[in-house]
Structure formats: C-alpha cells, structure tokens
Amino acid sequence: MRRFSQVDVFTSEFLRGNPVAVVHDADGIGAEEMAAFARWTNLSETTFLLAPTQPGADYRLRIFTPGGELPFAGHPTLGSARAWLEAGGVPATEGRVVQECGVGLVTVKDDAGGLAFAAPDLLRSGPVDEADLAAVAASLGLAPEEVVEAAWVDDGPGWVGLLLRDADTVLGLRLDFAAMGGYQVGVIGPRAPGGRAAFEVRAFCPDLAVPEDPVTGSLNAGLAQWLIGSGRAPTAYVAQQGTVLGRRGLVRIASDGTDVWVGGDTVVGIRGQVSL
C-alpha cells in the first residue's frame, strides 16, 4: 500500500478546480502500471512522486494523462508539490520546492499562501504556419481571420495558442475534436474590465484522451510567456478557466523580469492509500 492524495488545483473551493491524483513513495512502480492507473483514475493527470536523481531536486515527478506520459504539466506540478509538503516533505531551501521532471528542474515557491511555479522555457515558440492555423481554427468552428494572433507555446504537452477577440468568443466555440486530431490547442480572450479575471482560457487535448482540460497550468504558462513578451498582456494578471465545465479556476500570472510565475490555490480533498 502506498500513500495517495487527490488535490484540487487553481481553486480555494474543493470541487471547483482541476484535480490531480498523486501517488506518494512511487519508486518501484513500473511505467506500464503508472499508465494503467492513470487510465483508471481518468483524470486529466495522475502523478507519481519518486526519489530525485538530479542534484538540487527535492523529488522527481512522473506525469501521466489517460493517453500517455508528459514531460511537464502545470496543475500536476502545483498539486504534487502541495501533496508532498502536506505529507511531511521538507525542501532543501525554505520556501522553495525543486521538482525534477521530464523538462528538467522546475522551481515552486510559496505565493502569498498559494503555490506558484516558474514557467519552464518553451520547447517550441514562434508563429503558426497557414496550414496549421487553418486546421486548428476549423476544429474550433472559426475562420482563420477570426484569430487575432497565433503562436506555438509548447512547454512540454505541445500547445499551440490562439488569441481570440474576447471571452465570449472563447466560451462560444463550436468544437470538432475529430478535426483537431493531434493538436493540443489553447485559446485565450480578454474579459470585460473590472472583473476578477483579465482573460478567459480554454484548453483542448483530445489526442491525450482529455477533450477539454478544466484548468491548465502549462498552457497558461506558455500563453503568459507569449503574451507578456509581445506586449499583449500586462506583467501581472489573473486568468479564468473551466467556466463551461462548471469550474471556477483562477490562475495567477506574474512576471518578475526573469521568470514568469504561474500560481493558484490548492485544496487537498482526498487522503488515503492505494494498492500499487
């Protein structure tokens, strides 16, 4: 038996964020069994906490969707850090947790009572060519000219990001997941001024067996690096995600000139043991 946690991420209210299943003390579990458990939980991600192998890391994390393993994902990073700390983990540096995963070392810091991770460097960035843009736009029920701007914002899962005119356009998309194929698609649009969030975000990854992800740290990290870097977003803002799924995820973004930090609240909702 191994310790098990389920953490709701990007929310202070249990059941309103994006849950991640976390298996503690996972050394000795094979990749096939990890993948099978991830398929069984049927959450967007399931993670496994292992002893680190790189100097400076507090733990190593493997991240699985129902469709396969990812080198990095955001809400599992925050949720796993919360589970590790609550289970008694003590970081080598106070106030900083260093996670080892497929993209290398990722730093997680305390963010005014929540947690925030430093966005890893993008593996792919830059403009989207006409053929890719046409295919992605069609899968969202849009014409290419309805997209304000598009860019690759891949920090591990393979994201292509689309900036749309406004939040209403984001919320009203007409989706064709079959047409989306192997693209992992993130869309963002500005919300009306004066609300709790500046942007509305949605994430689609049917190729990973997650048609729409409730709240997505890796996507928000990539979008923030792109939009802050291009001057289309301020250096600090809040993004809302999960609205059409009945969630109320809030993602806090802040650039300090060196790193883009992606943060949010976390709630440990389930504690127990699992037979793996």
pLDDT at 110: 86
pLDDT per residue over 118-135, tens digit each? Answer: 999 999 999 999 999 999
107 burial level (CB within 10 Å; 0-12, 13-18, 19+):
middle
pLDDT per residue over 22-39, tens digit each? Answer: 999 999 999 999 999 999
Q: Which residue has the tokens 């593996």?
A: 123
- 56 Cα distance to chain centroid: 23
Secondary structure in 3-state letters for 71-133? CCCHHHHHHHHHHHHHCCCCCCECCEEEEEECCEEEEEEEECCEEEEECCCCCEEEECCHHHH
Task: Give the separation between CA 37 and CA 139, rounded to whole angstroms.
Answer: 30
Q: Is 69 annotated as catalytic?
A: no
CB-based contacts of 219, cutoff 8 Å, min separation 6? 74, 153, 157, 159, 161, 186, 201, 203, 213
User: In DSSP terms, which residues pair with 49 in a beta bridge?
Assistant: 61
pLDDT per residue over 196-234, tens digit each? Answer: 999 999 999 999 999 999 999 999 999 999 999 999 999
90: its two tokens: 């003590």
Are 247 and 14 contacting, i.e. CB atoms less than 8 angstroms apart? Answer: no
Q: What is residue 260's DSSP assignment?
A: E
Nearest residue to 251 via CA among 243, 67, 22, 155: 243
Q: Is the pLDDT of residue 239 over 80?
A: yes
CB-based contacts of 165, cutoff 8 Å, min separation 6? 146, 148, 189
Active-site choice (45, 100, 200, 212): 45
**Domains of the chain from N-terminus onward:** 2-119+263-274 (3.10.310.10), 124-258 (3.10.310.10)
Mean model confidence pLDDT for the chain: 97
Q: Is the pLDDT of residue 113 over 70?
A: no
